[in-house]
């Protein structure tokens, strides 16, 4: 089942994500190194499968998350870094994601895009992530409201 659209409730977030996704440049080397220092070996493999755009976005969200939750565990930071990892399964680029956001889960790939949190949680669990990481990616756990607000900032 598709999630409700957030086009009208968070237009600034969507606009920022869209314009940021137009560049395919990788994250800065310092950001990439920091991210990988927070991840277990299997998680690093997932991180490297993410698009450059998603890795840049996720590193930015994870940095906000650490600021908002300084007591965050390594596993929680990994969850913030990998919160969008399930998007690797949908195979949609920027324009496909825009369309999926507008029309909902009308095709299999659009449904995968809209279910990326649950897909990401399964991928993380299979990669050997700790339960707090899996929970956070799957939109669960005590730290999820903070991650959600950091993702929408």
The answer to whether residues 143 and 76 touch, using CB atoms and an 8 Å cutoff, is: yes
Mean pLDDT (the chain, rounded) = 91
Better-predicted residue by pLDDT, 11 or 100: 100
Please, which residues have CB within 8 angstroms of residue 73's CB and are 6 or more apart in sequence?
Answer: 132
**Rounded Cα gap, residues 32 and 92, in angstroms:** 23
34: enclosing H helix or E strand: helix 29-37
**Rounded Cα gap, residues 102 and 48, in angstroms:** 28
- Does residue 5 surpass a pLDDT of 50? no
pLDDT at 17: 66
- Does residue 62 surpass a pLDDT of 50? yes
E strands along 33-96, which residues? none
Q: What ranges do the domains of the chain cover?
A: 11-152
What average pLDDT does range 29-53 have in this prediction? 98
Please give the model's pTM, rounded to 2 decimal places. Answer: 0.86
pLDDT at 23: 75
What average pLDDT does range 115-134 have in this prediction? 98
- Does residue 14 surpass a pLDDT of 50? yes
Angle between helices 11-21 and 94-103 (to 10 degrees): 160
In tens, the pLDDT along 136-152 reads: 999 999 999 999 999 99
pLDDT at 24: 86
């Amino acid at each position: 089942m598709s999630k409700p659209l957030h086009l009208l409730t968070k237009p600034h977030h969507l606009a920022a994500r869209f314009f940021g996704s137009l560049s395919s440049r990788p994250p800065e080397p310092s950001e990439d190194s920091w991210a990988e220092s927070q991840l277990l070996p299997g998680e690093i493999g997932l991180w490297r499968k993410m698009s450059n755009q998603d890795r840049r976005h996720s590193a930015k969200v994870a940095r906000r998350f650490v600021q908002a939750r300084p007591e965050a565990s390594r596993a929680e930071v990994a969850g913030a870094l990998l919160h969008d990892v399930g998007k690797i399964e949908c195979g949609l680029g920027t324009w496909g994601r825009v369309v999926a956001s507008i029309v909902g889960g009308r095709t299999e790939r659009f449904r995968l895009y809209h279910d990326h949190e649950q897909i990401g949680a399964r991928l993380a669990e299979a990669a050997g992530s700790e339960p707090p990481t899996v929970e956070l990616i799957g939109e669960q756990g005590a730290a999820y409201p903070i991650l959600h607000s950091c993702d929408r900032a």
